Homo-oligomer: A and B are copies of this chain.
């Protein structure tokens, strides 16, 4: 395996590091144009357009959009059809994800207000979105865990209606995905996908209700469509390829770290797995584990392509330097696989999720630890956050000025409004003066 190895002490490190970080979310103009057409068509023709695209792209023979809806009975049947072990695992994962997001609601999702010394009430009212849309990809990247991770925070936030769309090319339905929808309490499911599904959710059709926000991953068409409708509805984020960065002090069994790097690389050829350590012998040991374990993986080809294309082992001068490099990358998943993870945690400023200690494999977080697995990619952890209850809520400021309060505030507002040349603003304040 041609896995590149860098050293921060090398003269060419800065250039090599820049090359490693480079990833371009370049949009394909042909896709953009096609998506713009589909959006306009669905906005104009509604159900008829959605049906036509679904017949064409997914080869479904339905004669109405209503016929594309999956009933709650069908979701329950899917849940009954999977193995008991799968059902138990889905339900256990859902319960843990729900418990975490309920804590999140209490920590940062409740209304608050106070009165100042003049008796003015100030605060924020926090309310759930009315209705949200959840995009679930079909085909090979159909992940039931994503259904849980998107629908449960919406539920916890108090969203009244969760509408899921999932393409089913050639009519093939994934029972685990439908079972997850049942477990997560999704209200309605339509077997539509692509830009036409995003358009239907954003604009509404006779059959598909308009939503306030669309979350969930998708291919280039879906990503482009979400970017187009942003503003008309809310969207979560435009996800890039998945990434893991492991900072290791050399105390974790090398096989564990090797498998953690693989578990990101197996997502797709553009995924990125990076290991940082100040211990050169440990890097060698992990490399040896990777060479030995790689041929045992069913997805060996994808893992190899990902690691050779975008992976790296990086020898650092110290754990502190490893933390600095991690901050520059702002990875989606960050494992601090060390004997004293809490010692390094304060140094880590930018990451979607931080996994502390040898036992915290990223895959536990992907499925069932509780926190959300929808995380900012491609360095956007510099300014954005995991999907959470807060993404399904919005805030309204509350202001109640007392007769007394209007005196002091009115004089300030009057001066500033005149300064901005907005005389009606000034006079609205002045009218309330005694």
Interface residues of A (CB under 8 A from B): 25, 82, 85-86, 88-90, 92-93, 99-100, 103-104, 107-110, 112, 114, 116, 120-125, 127, 129-130, 140, 142-145, 176, 212-213, 227, 230-231, 233-234, 238, 253, 255-256, 259-260, 262-263, 265-267, 297-299, 303, 334, 341-342, 345, 348-357, 359-372, 375-376, 378, 380-386, 388, 390, 394-403, 405-406, 409-413, 415-417, 419-429, 431-432
Report if A424-B383 is in contact (Cβ < 8 Å); known contacts: A399-B360, A429-B361, A432-B361.
no
Query: A144 to B413, alpha carbons, bound, how many Å?
Result: 12
In the bound complex, residues from chain B placing their C-beta under 8 Å from that of A383 are: 129, 212-213, 233-234, 394
Query: A345 to B398, alpha carbons, bound, how many Å?
Result: 9
The CB with the most chain B CB atoms within 10 A, among A107, A230, A399, A424, is that of A424
Apart from A103-B122, A176-B420, A231-B380: 11 A-B pairs, beta carbons within 8 A: A25-B231, A86-B415, A120-B369, A124-B388, A140-B421, A256-B431, A353-B398, A364-B410, A365-B397, A366-B425, A381-B396
Instruction: Decide if B256 touches A428 in the complex (CB within 8 Å).
Output: yes
Instruction: Decide if A299 touches B423 in the complex (CB within 8 Å).
Output: yes
Report if A428-B112 is in contact (Cβ < 8 Å); known contacts: A371-B399, A423-B297.
no
CB distance from A360 to the nearest CB of B (A): 4
Query: A121 to B336, alpha carbons, bound, how many Å?
Result: 14
CB distance from A287 to the nearest CB of B (A): 16
CB distance from A343 to the nearest CB of B (A): 13
**Number of identical protomers:** 2
Residue of B nearest to A355 (CB): B399
Query: A360 to B410, alpha carbons, bound, how many Å?
Result: 10
A397 is contacted by which of B85, B262, B372 (Cβ under 8 Å)? B372
In the bound complex, residues from chain B placing their C-beta under 8 Å from that of A176 are: 419-420
The CB with the most chain B CB atoms within 10 A, among A230, A253, A426, A429, is that of A429
Report if A419-B144 is in contact (Cβ < 8 Å); known contacts: A424-B265, A424-B297.
yes
A369 is contacted by which of B99, B142, B409 (Cβ under 8 Å)? B409
In the bound complex, residues from chain B placing their C-beta under 8 Å from that of A231 are: 25, 238, 378, 380
Instruction: Decide if A353 touches B396 in the complex (CB within 8 Å).
Output: yes
Query: A267 to B428, alpha carbons, bound, how many Å?
Result: 14
Instruction: Decide if B420 touches A143 in the complex (CB within 8 Å).
Output: yes
In the bound complex, residues from chain B placing their C-beta under 8 Å from that of A370 are: 116, 122, 399
Query: A129 to B350, alpha carbons, bound, how many Å?
Result: 9
Residue of B nearest to A140 (CB): B421
13 chain-A/chain-B pairs, Cβ below 8 angstroms = A82-B419, A88-B415, A90-B416, A99-B116, A104-B124, A234-B384, A266-B423, A360-B399, A361-B428, A366-B413, A368-B416, A385-B394, A388-B395
Instruction: Decide if A425 touches B355 in the complex (CB within 8 Å).
Output: no
Instruction: Decide if A371 touches B122 in the complex (CB within 8 Å).
Output: yes
Instruction: Decide if A92 touches B412 in the complex (CB within 8 Å).
Output: yes
Query: A394 to B55, alpha carbons, bound, how many Å?
Result: 42
Residue of B nearest to A341 (CB): B400
Instruction: Decide if B397 touches A367 in the complex (CB within 8 Å).
Output: no
CB distance from A290 to the nearest CB of B (A): 11
Instruction: Decide if A349 touches B127 in the complex (CB within 8 Å).
Output: yes
The CB with the most chain B CB atoms within 10 A, among A256, A366, A428, is that of A428
In the bound complex, residues from chain B placing their C-beta under 8 Å from that of A422 are: 263, 266-267, 299, 363
Residue of B nearest to A214 (CB): B383
Instruction: Decide if A397 touches B352 in the complex (CB within 8 Å).
Output: yes
In the bound complex, residues from chain B placing their C-beta under 8 Å from that of A350 are: 127, 394, 396
